[in-house]
Amino acid sequence: MAETYVYPSFGGLDLGVLRLPGLGLGNLLFPWARCVVASHKRHLKMIAPTWPQICPGAILRRESDKRSYYDSFHTPDGQVHGIRRLWLLATLPRYPEECDNEPSGGIICFRGNRGHFAPILEDAQFVRQQILTIVRRCHQDACRVCFRRSISVHVRRGDFRTPSNSNDIYSGCNGLRIPLSWYVDIVSRLRHLVRGDIPVFVFSDGSDEELGDLLAIPGIQRLGFGSAIADLIALSRANVLVASGSSFSMWASYLGRMPVIWHKGQMLQRLYRPDEAIECECSSGQDLPSELRNALC
């Protein structure tokens, strides 16, 4: 019987060794994660994805992260790569991941954000292990940094737009810049909760000028490890995560399983928690759950 393969298709124009236009890392990880989990559970061989891409938007906006991912990942043992990979992708029929019967001699393709984290909700530990397996060592510096008893803050700017009014944020509109005043308020309240100047690390694609009021708080340090995947690994090691309304923050929460605070209306999807109080949405001035204290003590 002919062999069946699985393949995470990232969309756009895929030339086999390069794609365009490109998506952000959070959106790419959804089909990749569903594919790697399916490969493991169904004992099917995985065809390596096309990570390298060109993202014109990031280039035009002069973002520090050009979202190329050409040197972020390597192909692990067991995945189909090289000439054989290109041959299979060019010759075998492709089937959607939701096909009723497992095809023989074809490629099951995983595309898009289907269900977001729902299909992989219970596989966080395995998915994290697989990410660390494929990330090149030069992007794993965050694994050697101590984040013990600290808060990490993710402030998304870049292609996110400034909301026309606060109701847009509260109503759950996506792709919005959370007001910097909210981050300042949450950090102050977390420190008050533990009654100390606990270390705070800020990760952002914004400029120092855009983050001025936040960076001016004593004991706050801006960190960056040079790539999106390196920063994601770092964020996933926080004791408490103060999130932006982005899939990038959600991936950090999913991989790290730490307490996380979202702006009211900006939690993209509730992940499994033994205690829902530590996966919360808060407005400025709102009391934080007292359970967060245990994560920082």
Q: What is the DSSP string of 28-54?
A: HHHHHHHHHHHHHHHT-EEBPP---B-
Residues 149 and 236 grouped into a single domain: yes
Q: Are residues 191 and 290 in the same domain?
A: yes
CATH assignment at residue 150 = 3.40.50
Domain termination site, one of 88, 107, 134:
134
Residues 83 and 171 in one domain: no
Enclosing domain of residue 41 = 5-134
CA 200 to chain centre: 20
* Domain closes at, from 134, 165, 187: 134
How many CB atoms within 10 Å of residue 162?
9
Q: What distance in Å separates the CA atoms of residue 3 and residue 53, rounded to the nearest whole number?
A: 29
- State residue 64's pLDDT score: 74
pTM of the entire structure? 0.92
pLDDT tens, 201-248?
999 999 999 999 999 999 899 999 989 999 999 999 999 999 999 999
Task: Give which of 147, 129, 142 is closest to 238, Cα–Cα.
Answer: 147
Instruction: Specify burial of residue 86 (Cβ count, 10 A radius: 0-12, 13-18, 19+).
Output: middle
Domain boundary residue among 134, 151, 168? Answer: 134
- Higher per-residue confidence, 265 vs 100: 265
Q: Are residues 129 and 168 in the same domain?
A: no
Judgement on whether residues 94 and 153 belong to the same structural domain of the protein = no
**Is residue 147 located within the same domain as residue 123?**
no
Number of structural domains the chain divides into: 2
